[in-house]
Amino acid sequence: VQKKLHLTEDKNLHNEIMDDIDTVQLSNSQKTFEVATKLFLKKWKSEEKVLQYFSSEWLESKNGWYEGLQMYVSSTNNALEATNRVIKDEDTIRGRLVLSRFTVVVFSIVMKWSKERNPIRVNSKKFEHQPSITLSHWTDGYN
């Protein structure tokens, strides 16, 4: 959306439009999202070009970008990126590997992580099968 803000002649509105989109994104249910988008469209109706882009790209074709779509599921891939960093830092030393070496490294990683997460071990790393954040924590995060 930021790349299309040039369609709005008044540059002073750019931050306000983005702030409003961020607010819409925080909708915790489909109903809230629908109401928030209607209010957004009503508020910015004078900015026709931006609204046309926003409506076609983010409301009609990609309308699953609000927080409440998947409750209790992270909306970022930060955990995946953190795991990727551990692999690069500890195991591959951030270099490309030939396939034969990569296979050896992958088996080594799986063995190491399996041992670290073995529940029989005294200091095992706990593997979460479900999100452990309570609804009240999620609610507090929005406030």
Judge residue 28's burial from the number of C-beta atoms within 10 Å of its C-beta, 0-12 exposed, 13-18 middle, 19 or more buried.
Answer: middle
User: Are the beta carbons of 13 and 33 closer than 8 angstroms?
Assistant: no
- Rounded distance, CA 34 to CA 63, Å? 10
Q: pLDDT, tens digit, for every residue of 7-64?
A: 888 888 999 999 999 999 999 889 999 999 999 999 999 999 999 999 999 999 887 8
Non-local (6+) Cβ contacts of 50 within 8 A are: 1, 4, 5, 7, 8, 17, 44
Instruction: Count how many residues are written for the chain.
Output: 143
Can you give the pTM of this predicted structure? 0.58
